[in-house]
Structure 1
Amino acid sequence: MNQKVMDGVYLNILQTQQFKTIRFSVQLVAPATKETLTKRSLLASVLSASSQAYRDQVAIANQLQAMYGAGFNMNAYRQGQLAIFSISMRIVSPQYLRDTIDLQQQAIAFIGELLLKPDVIDQAFNAVTFDREKENLQRYIDSVADDKQTYAALKLRELYFTDQTQQTPNYGDADVLKTITATDLYTYYQQMIANDRIQMTVVGNVDEEKLALDLAQLSLAPRGEMLPGIFYQQAASNAVRELTEEQAVQQGKLNMAYQLPAYFYQKDYYAALVMNALFGGTPLSLLFTNVREKASLAYYASSNIDAFRGAVMVQTGIESHQKERVLAIIEAQRQSIIAGDFTQAMFEQTKLALINQFKSSLDSPGYLGQQQFNQIFVPETELDAGRFTTAILAVSKQAVQEQAAKMQLQAIYFLKGVDTNEA
């Protein structure tokens, strides 16, 4: 249950003895924009590199080791229309320690140190740390172009989405990054700490009264609570946007984007999950077995649902001269689902694969914590294996056929490579 600590600050505790660890996370949430995504990505690197008490990575690593090898992570990402800055920590549950050390208090103090006491000089982040982390992020952004599978996926999203923010990758925008100074970033950091909605989530076996006292040391202040809805909804286009690029690569990349208005744990979500799993979401899928295995038209072929933005993305690696054949056979697989041309055995196996995947996910404190977070914005988010199983098993063949029929092709991105057959 989500508890209101003060205006704009919430605490969600999942009491469980399932794990021998306790996982703490603090997530700061604001509307996503190209600028906020970029600044938060850089902030995650800068804040996790040093603080007032821990001047470098060695000091941070030594403290984590002193806390019985505690795990720590800081990152920034986007879900639908929200930009999320997250700091998380995993410690051994104190009941398994012989030592009388107050590990929970130390962990929360460590989070507070890195999040709230940054390494700042004259109202700017430490220039040495800032310059290094900015350069590292720039190198990472530049390196994406060398990973052609990732590059093609990002180009497809640029092509599909009409909104500039939704076109922007989680790590931000290279042009925005170039303009950010150490002073700019610190000013933005202060605004984020003061104004963002804060969601604290704890997964593990904890004393809730003591936890409240330990969290109070973070000294958070009340803030506003206005946020956009988490889902991004884009109007369908009657025309398919297409883009072809040529590069000196051996393997072509043919990616496609469909609109499918089935959102995270909303109406038709379970049917869409099963449909996507049949289409290209599992090794049992039609794309994998018919496009990759039987027809040998692709080195890889798969699909995935973006359930916060109402889309299905298809990724394939192909010989470039096979483009039209691959487009045709991918559409043929969708038409097979619409026609109900799949066996009952495949239908049931696909459902079982989804159920087993969900059950396996529940063994991860990180997944449980993220689902707890999602529940704040999407109350229907499922955390119970029994209810999830029942919902998946209840999906009818007709419902899956209807979801496939609702898919509307919106964008095709083709990275055309050097083809030995054409050389």
Structure 2
Amino acid sequence: MTNNGFQHGNAAGMRIHVLPTKAFKTFAISLYAGVPLDESTVTSTALAPFVLRRGTATYPETTQFRERLEELYGAGFGFDIYKRGDYQIVQFRMDTINDSFVQSKESLLGESFAFLGEVLTRPLLENGSFRASYVATERETVRKKLEAIVNDKIRYAAERCIEEMCRQEPYRLHPLGQRADLDGITPENLYESYTAWLNGAILDLYVVGDTTPEEVEKLVIRHFGRAHKQSESYTSNFKPVTVQEVRTVEEKLDVNQGKLNMGLRTSITYKDDRYASALMYNGILGGYPHSKLFVNVREKESLAYYASSRYDGHKGIGTIQSGIETQNYGKAVDIIRKQLDELKAGNISDLELSQTKAMIRNLLSEIQDSAFELISFDFNRQLSGKDRSAQELLAEVDGIGAEEVKAAADTFQLDTIYFLTGKGE
């Protein structure tokens, strides 16, 4: 079946999504592996790809691994780990030049599949588990990444606000895991959890480039052909949360500038027909430089060094981030709440509507220029079960007026106020 140009099928227990196109000079390959966020596995799942990228059965040393990518005309290989709704997702990416642009004896698409298949399913093993030195080094890599969040107070405050707001939900967990768990991870138990992860994950493989679904399916069977159970679909157990009372959390650390973050709950998620209204709401509230938070909190009142908002459509959560002088806390909370009330009251200018539409239009049209953006947009569909092309979303956004934004605003309820302040205050 086809959607947005992607053709969808299944092979070797994976869902396969192919966009045959001559628009790009490269093949973009993306493999998503998703599992539910879970305190007992989140850290080992995050650590596994760091160890996998160190060496495989054929390329046991990291230098050989990198040289192999060079032989494939400098193919790019990388991975990301993030959360979408209550899932932890590992995304492996490869970017390989199209065969027709180089004099290559072998099919570069085929060789890339061989490489990615090996990274994922044939890691380097010693005595039946991962190489101990790789596990030790990569444990420190992940530890440093988690420590970097604590040192970056803007990121730290954003994470802590989510942690406090979602303290009873898996979503509180950071996709890179928890520092406290790292020391308990051994080469043996990491290999066990990697095997369980690989067998339990929902797998979606994407290819954008000058190929066909038939060719991709053959390559998948050849290079990933293992007895993997058929990938299930993502299931959303989303239940709108009704806020009983706003919770305020204050934390003292050695900071010069206060960080005021707020978390909001909404009943609107990506699959909802009102999703475009929620995008517009976030854009007018704090998504762009013309937004209410930026103009009123930062520019008019000079209360904040930065002030913006984000909306996570897979979780039904909005967040507000701002940096303020600690003595301005009360004033800043009041003026941010006033912007929320303005939207609920429908006080939205034609200029705010048209500027926000222009910004969203730019973002959606940029998707067409990047193979990985096209992939990521279609993956939202796999996650949410909602069939909606970028063009359809754009048309929905264009049709939205102040009334629809006001209706969306009514669903956004302030849940948590988190304030990170200095110790000497």
Query: Under TM normalisation by the shorter chain, which class is it?
Result: over 0.9
Task: Name the residue aligned to 1:154.
Answer: 159
Please provide the CA RMSD for this pair. Answer: 1.9
1:238 Cα shift? 0.8
Q: Is the 8 A contact 2:11 2:217 kept in 1?
A: no
Please, which of 34, 38, 50 is the counterpart of residue 29 of structure 1? Answer: 34
TM-fit CA distance, 1:203: 1.1
Measure, in 2, the Cα distance between the counterparts of 1:94 and 1:383: 30
Q: How does 1:5-404 map to 2 (within 5 A)?
A: 5=11, 8-217=13-222, 218-226=224-232, 229-230=235-236, 232-233=238-239, 235-385=241-391, 387-404=392-409
The Cα of 1:34 is off from its aligned counterpart by 2.0
1:416 counterpart residue number = 421
Matched residue SS, 2:27: strand
- Contact 1:304–1:314 under 8 Å retained in 2: yes
Identity between Structure 1 and Structure 2 (%): 28
Once the two structures are superposed, what CA deviation does each residue of 1:153-181 show, in whole Å capped at 9, x if it has no partner? 11101110033421111111122223221
CA contact (8 A) 1:256 1:413 kept: yes
Cα offset, 1:137, TM superposition: 1.0
The TM-score with structure 1 as length reference comes to: 0.94
TM-score, scaled relative to structure 2: 0.93
Q: Structure 1's 40 and 355: CA in aligned 2 closer, same or farther, altered over 3 A?
A: same
Amino acid at match of 2:42: L
Deviation at 1:284, TM superposition (A): 1.1
Q: CA deviation at 1:271?
A: 0.3
The alpha carbon displacement at 1:233 in A equals: 3.3
Contact 2:234 2:383 in 1 (8 A): no
What is the aligned residue count?
418
Q: Which one-letter code corresponds to 2:27 in the other structure?
A: I
Which region of structure 1 is more displaced relative to structure 2, 99-108 or 183-192?
A: 99-108
Write the deviation string for residues 207-235 of structure 1: whole angstroms up to 9, x where unpaired: 43333222222213241545662454352
Give the conservation status (yes or no) of the 8 Å contact 1:271–1:395: yes
Alpha-carbon shift at residue 343 of structure 1 (Å): 1.9
CA contact (8 A) 1:31 1:228 kept: no
Cα distance, 1:416 vs structure 2: 0.9
In structure 1, the residue corresponding to 2:130 is in which secondary structure? Answer: coil
Change (3 A) 1:293 1:182: same
2: CA distance between counterparts of 1:17 and 1:233? 42
* Secondary structure, counterpart of 2:369 in structure 1: coil
- Counterparts of 1:197 and 1:265, CA distance in 2: 19
In the alignment, what sits opposite 2:3? none
Residues 43-82 of structure 1: per-residue CA shift (max 9 Å, x gap) = 0100011112222332222111111111111233221122
Question: How far apart are residue 114 of structure 1 and its match?
Answer: 1.1
Contact 1:252/1:414 (<8 A) preserved: yes
Listed as ranges, the gaps of 5+ residues in structure 2 are: 1-6
In structure 2, what residue type is equivalent to 1:251?
A: Q
Unaligned 5+ runs, structure 1: none
| Structure 1 outlier segments of 4+, above 6 Å | none
Report the CA distance shift for 1:127/1:245 in structure 2 as closer, same or farther (over 3 A).
same
Mapped partners of 2:212, 2:249: distance in 1: 56
Letter in 2 for 1:355: R
Q: Equivalents in 2 of 1:215, 1:127: separation in Å? A: 30
Paired letter, 1:354: I
Give me the whole-angstrom Cα distance separating, in 1, the residues matched to 2:236 and 2:49.
22
